[in-house]
């Protein structure tokens, strides 16, 4: 269109673009937190913003769980992060969802830590406030302590002889032990593992609660060594 002027062909009005605001409302778990053992975790994430939270390129985003020595992400312990995929693309204003995972906790010393829930771990969702994406809650980790309390055998000991072996183990630690392990019976020239001769005889054990005991019994063959005086050592959780 031929006009007398083109300088008045546009008009501007103020507009404010609202954005989503993902925040972690709560973080928790079920069961006893034990270092090196599995724990069921969950976080509740909500959208405090004025518009839906949408990741337009991938169609999803990731949340995260962090085990930390303090209330910050900088204090994360070695192996202390778990990425949690989120299927809730298009979270509306005031909407929320639960992200839950089962995690084998890092094998750290028993003590007090923080479990941190992180919303939108990689900042893929443009938000009006990126400073409220984490929530830290205190968590105390227990740890098991397996103690070999007695070892015995039946049968006639001799080089290469078959014996029925038993080992009584007690968990005197503050946490349960699970995930399975092997105990061992070791023939030794002295009372230490350093004097071990021949191969180990092993027996599997799946779990034991706090203050619980079990008897591991197996049949195995002694090493073919010279006749003489030795020690039979019971070793709880020899494969750690």
pLDDT of 122 above 80: yes
Across 196-223, average pLDDT: 93
- Residues linked to residue 41 through DSSP beta bridges, in sequence order: 29, 101
What does the pLDDT read at residue 89? 81
pLDDT of 56 above 80: no
Tens of pLDDT, residue by residue over 146-169, are 999 999 999 999 999 999 999 999
Q: Are 239 and 230 in contact (CB under 8 A)?
A: no
What does the pLDDT read at residue 228? 96
Across 179-206, average pLDDT: 93
Across 208-224, average pLDDT: 95
pLDDT of 27 above 90: yes
Indicate the average pLDDT of the chain: 94
pLDDT of 85 above 80: yes
231-235 and 213-221: which strand pairing?
unpaired
56 SS3 class: coil
Across 45-74, average pLDDT: 93
């Amino acid at each position: 269109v031929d006009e007398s002027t083109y300088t008045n062909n546009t008009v501007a009005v103020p507009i404010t673009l609202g954005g989503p605001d993902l925040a972690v409302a709560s973080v928790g778990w079920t069961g006893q937190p034990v270092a090196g053992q599995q724990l069921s975790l969950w976080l509740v994430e909500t959208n405090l913003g004025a518009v839906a939270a949408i990741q337009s390129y991938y169609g999803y985003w990731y949340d995260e769980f962090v085990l930390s020595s303090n209330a910050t992400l900088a204090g994360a312990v070695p192996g202390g992060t778990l990425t949690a995929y989120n299927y809730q693309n298009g979270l509306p204003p005031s909407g929320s969802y639960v992200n839950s995972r089962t995690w084998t906790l890092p094998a750290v010393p028993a003590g007090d830590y923080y479990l941190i829930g992180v919303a939108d771990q990689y900042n893929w969702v443009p938000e009006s406030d990126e400073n409220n994406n984490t929530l830290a809650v205190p968590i105390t980790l227990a740890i098991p302590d397996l103690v070999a309390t007695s070892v015995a055998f039946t049968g006639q000991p001799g080089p290469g002889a078959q014996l029925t072996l038993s080992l009584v183990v007690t968990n005197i630690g503050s946490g349960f032990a699970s995930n399975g392990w092997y105990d061992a019976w070791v023939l030794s020239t002295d009372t230490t593992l350093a004097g071990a001769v021949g191969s180990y005889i092993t027996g599997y054990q799946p779990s034991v609660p706090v203050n619980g005991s079990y008897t591991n019994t197996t049949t195995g063959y002694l090493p073919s060594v010279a006749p003489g005086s030795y020690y039979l050592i019971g070793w709880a959780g020899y494969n750690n």
